[in-house]
Structure 1
Amino acid sequence: MKNIKRSLLLTAGLILAISCQTKAKKGETAESGRQATAPQMEKEVPQDLSAYETAYFASGCFWCVEAIFESVKGVAEAESGYAGGTEENPTYEQVSYGRTTHAEAVKVYYDPEVVSFFELVQVFFGSHDPTTPNRQGPDRGPQYRSIAFYENDSERQIITAYMEALEEQRVYDRPIVTEVSPLTQFYKAEEYHQDYERKHPDNPYIQNVSVPRLNRFKANFQDFLKEDIH
């Protein structure tokens, strides 16, 4: 992969001109080192998110993706969940075992006066490898595939135009395999998954996969970060 920060910034100008797979049982560790332990405290959520716009993305382990988007200024909240499949009310055990057509995904609540949907698309592509089919880091399977969801035609055009620009500039050494799909349904994940990285800093998967991934994003996108994020 080439210099992603420089290439993505060039692409932004162009556009504007035109194994997270666990055994699924709480406490059981996966080959990748991920271990899902239910916390004792509930997720602290703003009381009213109705004034915010929403965006949906899937790019591997939702623990990692949630933490990345919550570091972005203008993002009020990010929720871990499941999307991209047809089964109703999927559970973590079903999705993580690959027993559904869903992917681990996040729902992002954001203030469009502070951060645009286009900038969230930049965050999405800049924080994972969109060239690896059914895989992100140590996590393998279609439940970890890359998907950019859209809720209207304007969002679809933003996503596809940005992908085309990335391909034209040869930002990646391999073709982008990200799915561009309409958002049909998002199922919020079990409460113990919400804010998992913050609540479980000593988890081996968090230390070895999630935190390094977040730190790479923060190093390349400093202008996108909230003031209290270091």
Structure 2
Amino acid sequence: MIKFLSILTISLLFSCHNQAQVNPKQQAVINANPVEVPLQDGKARAYFASGCFWCVEAVYESVKGVDESISGYAGGFTENPTYAASNTGKTGHAETVEIIYDPELVSFSELVDVYFGSQNPTQVNGQGPDHGSQYRSIIFYQNEAQKQIIEQKKASLAKKLDAPIAAEVYPFQKFWLAEDYHQNYERLHPENPYIQKVSIPRLQKFKSKFPALLKDKTQH
């Protein structure tokens, strides 16, 4: 009985921790109305958290219709977050990428497919070797249509895998740009051991699964 209660307590703590320190400030973020980012020069923006942003940035930049992906922080309640502060897990933020894309070439729905197809969708509070609420999975919606797309795909995947999907669904509020040295990190530092052992294999696995979504070799 004591062993059972210990396991139950751990399970409850693990489940609660997935909500990234649910407190009044964090709950206000979760309950807020979404902010819709207007098109700029015909380009839209989308926001995804899926573990280390070095990995996610590289994945999305391989997708046709994506102009750029930028590393930063979102989903929390702390103003002007830094990498050091985010790593404490106390800011509420998760490492997030801003995707700048051409909606004529790739849809938000397809970007969500990329999201789920490039991660372990059942891993709670992290991806691969990266653990903590700052690495949790979040998909941000900017309007009700996007929210419905996310929820439908999440439910479909849960049914397919017969397992809970870890990704949280948040209204987008604000994207905080990460420090300069994080931008394009995989491309600029291919010799980094983490890049070689974690980021590149994750990217290659995604490419092998979704060849139809990849840019032509002439595109960068």
Q: TM-score, normalised on structure 2?
A: 0.79
- CA spacing shift, 1:205–1:89, aligned 2, 3 Å: same
What is aligned with 2:132? 141
Q: Secondary structure of the equivalent of 2:169? A: strand
CA shift at 1:173, angstroms? 4.9
What is aligned with 1:164? 155
What is aligned with 1:213? 202
1:144-192: CA deviation from partner (whole Å, max 9, x where unpaired): 1010100111100110011111123x2x253112101101111010111
- 2:205 matches 1:179: no
Amino acid at match of 1:153: E
What is aligned with 1:121? 112
Cα distance in 2 between the residues matched to 1:139 and 1:116: 29
Cα distance in 1 between the residues matched to 2:162 and 2:125: 17
Q: Secondary structure of the equivalent of 2:80? A: coil
1:5-42: CA deviation from partner (whole Å, max 9, x where unpaired): xxxxxxxxxxxxxxxxxxxxxxxxxxxxxxxxxxxxxx
- CA spacing shift, 1:50–1:87, aligned 2, 3 Å: farther
Cα distance in 2 between the residues matched to 1:203 and 1:177: 28
Cα distance in 2 between the residues matched to 1:50 and 1:100: 33
What is aligned with 1:131? 122
Cα distance in 1 between the residues matched to 2:132 and 2:184: 23
What is aligned with 1:154? 145
Cα distance in 2 between the residues matched to 1:50 and 1:179: 30
Q: Secondary structure of the equivalent of 1:192? A: helix
List structure 1 segments (4+ residues) > 2 angstroms apart after TM superposition: none
1:65-99: CA deviation from partner (whole Å, max 9, x where unpaired): 00000000000010000001000000001112323
Q: Secondary structure of the equivalent of 1:77? A: strand
Q: Secondary structure of the equivalent of 1:226? A: coil
CA shift at 1:139, angstroms? 0.4
Cα distance in 1 between the residues matched to 2:48 and 2:82: 18
Cα distance in 2 between the residues matched to 1:111 and 1:102: 27
What is aligned with 1:106? 97
Cα distance in 2 between the residues matched to 1:157 and 1:136: 24
Which structure has the highest helix share of the two? 2
Q: Secondary structure of the equivalent of 1:211? A: helix
Q: RMSD value over aligned CA atoms? A: 1.6
Q: Secondary structure of the equivalent of 2:195? A: helix
What is aligned with 2:56? 65
Cα distance in 1 between the residues matched to 2:201 and 2:162: 22
Q: Secondary structure of the equivalent of 1:99? A: coil
Amino acid at match of 2:124: P
Structure 2 matches for 1:24-39, cutoff 5 A?
Answer: none
Q: TM-score, normalised on structure 1?
A: 0.76
Cα distance in 2 between the residues matched to 1:174 and 1:135: 17
Cα distance in 2 between the residues matched to 1:132 and 1:173: 14
Amino acid at match of 2:169: V
Gaps of 5+ in 2: 1-39
Cα distance in 2 between the residues matched to 1:191 and 1:138: 24
Cα distance in 2 between the residues matched to 1:136 and 1:174: 16
The number of residue pairs the alignment matches comes to: 181
Cα distance in 2 between the residues matched to 1:163 and 1:217: 18
Cα distance in 2 between the residues matched to 1:80 and 1:227: 23
